[in-house]
Amino acid sequence: MFAYQCDKLECDLQSKLYDEEGCVDLNKQEDNATMNNEKVQKLLKESSSWSTMWLRFGQQNYPYDENFKEVSNYVINNKIKLYKK
């Protein structure tokens, strides 16, 4: 379970980085079946960004323990810009 949650959390962190860097255009998702999902559409309407939607979707649909929920909420509420050396 720990490895599963770490794997999912890595995807969540990557989505936040992509969002902060402007790498995703939701207007160019015509062939993305996930975008037609009712839960996704509802979360997009409620969220400030697509990465927030992604993180909240994960919180609602995957078995996060309280530690992982706390990290996920931190990511939602803070910038996590990738610092390059």
- Quick one: three-class SS letters along 18-74? HHHCCCCCHHHCCCCHHHHCHHHHHHHHHCCCHHHHHHHHHHHHCCCCHHHHHHHHH
pLDDT for res 75: 92
pLDDT for res 85: 67
Question: Averaged over 20-26, what is the pLDDT?
Answer: 84
- Residue 82 belongs to some domain of the structure: no
**Share of residues in the chain with pLDDT > 70 (%):** 94
- Residue 84 belongs to some domain of the structure: no
- Residue 9 belongs to some domain of the structure: yes
Chain centroid to CA 51: 4
**Does residue 82 carry a pLDDT above 80?**
no
What is the residue type of 3?
Answer: A
In angstroms, how far apart are the furthest CA atoms of the chain? 41
Query: What is the span of the domain harbouring residue 58?
Result: 2-23+33-77
- Residue 55 belongs to some domain of the structure: yes
**Does residue 68 carry a pLDDT above 80?**
yes
Number of domains in the chain: 1
- Residue 17 belongs to some domain of the structure: yes
